[in-house]
Structure 1
């Protein structure tokens, strides 16, 4: 299995939309837009992301399977990623995040994940992130306050 990153193409957006409206994936991610199915909100989000973040499409054997990004202000930049649920558990998110981190020499970097999202926490820890704090925030996908973990990647 070959995993590559490339800049986001307009043709990737319908794939991302389908992935980001998968109810099980949305629930696991927890901290999502209020209505992931709102197409205009999705389009606005991606317009902002593509103009202000380093964002890459994740390809597995040439197929679009997700995205990975670094965003935010210097000194507070965070990573984020999304992999199609049908590809979970195959090391794709870990490989994609490692490849992105190789493109971004800046440290520290931060990440957040729902405390019960064991898969995402494993990805982050395999990539060198360490837990620095525990917090709680309103998770739109769950409709309730949800514990989250804050992680940091040092130089």
Structure 2
């Protein structure tokens, strides 16, 4: 099965530690990831400040590091924005297409209990949209961020 995690791929979540930020910074600057997400990479100082204050420094944010066989692979985050709880995630390119995102999101949604839960991936990031839909998120419309169209999805309290 194309999206099943291989026998050697042990996917786990753990708390983020400051040493993880260098890898997250590198992942955010991967050109292919930037193209898929349409998320503009930040300069180092802005990135580190964002993570220190808006992610790790905000007690309402839930963030987990994603590991594969003990190696840091990415992160998953839930945060509040204008009264709605959103999720986002980022995986290093070497972990794409191996079912790791599927397993990581399953684990994350077991821990993040808020519902409804929203996500807004770039419309061209079909892998991310499919991943969310596989987990019960449903499309509710689109939203534009600058020139880029994103799909708004929601995971209700009682998914259909």
The Cα offsets for residues 80-122 of structure 1, whole Å up to 9 and x where unpaired, read as: 0000011111111121111111112221000001111111101
Inter-partner Cα distance in structure 2 for 1:135 and 1:10:
33
The Cα offsets for residues 46-89 of structure 1, whole Å up to 9 and x where unpaired, read as: 11211221000000010000000110158500000000011111
Give the structure 1 partner of residue 93 of structure 2: 85
Give the structure 1 partner of residue 56 of structure 2: 50
Q: Secondary structure at the match of 2:148?
A: strand
- TM-score w.r.t. the length of structure 2 is 0.87
What is the correspondence of 1:135-150 to structure 2 with a 5 Å cutoff? 135-138=143-146, 145-150=147-152
Q: Can you give the 5+ residue segments of structure 1 that lack an aligned partner in the other structure? A: 139-144
Give the structure 1 partner of residue 22 of structure 2: 14
Q: Does 2:109 align with 1:101?
A: yes
Say if 1:75 and 1:109, in contact at 8 Å, map to a contact too: no
Residues 27/133 of structure 1: CA separation in 2 closer, same or farther (3 Å cut)? same
Say if 1:65 and 1:84, in contact at 8 Å, map to a contact too: yes
Q: Can you give the 5+ residue segments of structure 2 that lack an aligned partner in the other structure? A: 1-8
Q: How many residues align?
A: 146
- TM-score w.r.t. the length of structure 1 is 0.89
